[in-house]
Amino acid sequence: MSNVFLVAGPSGVGKTHWIAEQLQQHPPSQEIAYLNLGGGSFPLDASYLETLHPKLDCLSDDDAPVKLVEHQGAKNPIYIEVGFHIALDSLVLPLVDCRNIVLVPPKGPETDWHHWTEADEVIVGVGTAPESIVNLQMQRALLSGEVFDPPSLDIFWQEVIQGAYGSVQRAKAIFNIADGQTFLFNFISGLEGSDYRPLDVPLCLDGRPQRFSGLEIVGEGIDGAGITETLQDCFVTDEMLVQYQAYLKTAQETVANAN
């Protein structure tokens, strides 16, 4: 069986989740490659997946052609996630013997992915397919270095998923929280509620975090300006961050001394 898995499907169907499940089945010592076609310079999915496997090599658009061939030659598992906005008939990859996996939603109308003749395996994912992807917009916000006040962030996220900034089909983000943790937020239309999970990364209690943080929203009629304005109201200022971190360090020292 091929060691190269091309994973395609509409937005919010669970492509990244499926890849995450596969990564956790590989031994920690195994080299694995991941490429997000359509991710560009916004490595949201890659940043999440990197926390799940210590030997995951997340490729960029620039180094992908060479590194994909190297990984395939070494027989390392390769997972290529295809953005919903990329036409399947436009894919040109420097690989042979690629296994095409397509995920389709259990609800909604049939899509181009249902009829992809190149698919080797069809998997029923999650969510609801939109009537059409023609009117879907993608809004991204790079938030690296920003730290969020949890109550303000919670209000903002509820506004997003309840339609205050347009009809949201999919929303996901990596947010740095004032307590030093980094969280993955995930919302898919057709599923109840959102998924919130802390990422397995070191607490940031000294200055602003240097790791990636960002928000991606897919939907119709998205109010990008409104999202940007509201996000800024959720940011923790430098002064507030210093106070937060001083308190947290003191609390940690108190617990350590008690033990």
**pTM for the predicted model, two decimal places:** 0.92
Please tell me whether residue 77 adopts helix, strand or coil conformation: coil
Q: Cα separation of 40 and 53, whole Å?
A: 21
Give pLDDT tens digits for 74-103.
999 999 999 988 887 777 666 668 899 999
Q: Cα separation of 81 and 101, whole Å?
A: 10
Give pLDDT tens digits for 160-176.
999 999 999 999 999 99
Pairing mode, if any, of strands 137-142 and 167-176?
unpaired
Walk me through the domains of the chain, giving residue ranges and CATH numbers.
Answer: 4-124 (3.40.50), 137-246 (3.30.1220.10)
Residue 141, classified by CB atoms within 10 Å of its CB into exposed (0-12), middle (13-18) or buried (19+), is: middle
Q: Which of 3, 168, 180, 24 is nearest to 75 (CA)?
A: 3
Report whether pLDDT(68) > 80: yes
Phi and psi torsions of 186, nearest 5°:
-145, 125
Q: Using 50, 70 and 90 to split pLDDT, how confident is the model at 186? A: very high
Rg, Å, the chain Cα set: 20
pLDDT of residue 129: 72
pLDDT of residue 133: 66
Q: Which of 228, 244, 250, 224 is nearest to 177 (CA)?
A: 244
The neighbouring-strand residues paired with 59 are 35
Q: Are 33 and 75 in contact (CB under 8 A)?
A: no
Name the amino acid, one letter, at 228.
T
Q: Using 50, 70 and 90 to split pLDDT, how confident is the model at 29? A: very high
Q: Cα separation of 158 and 176, whole Å?
A: 17
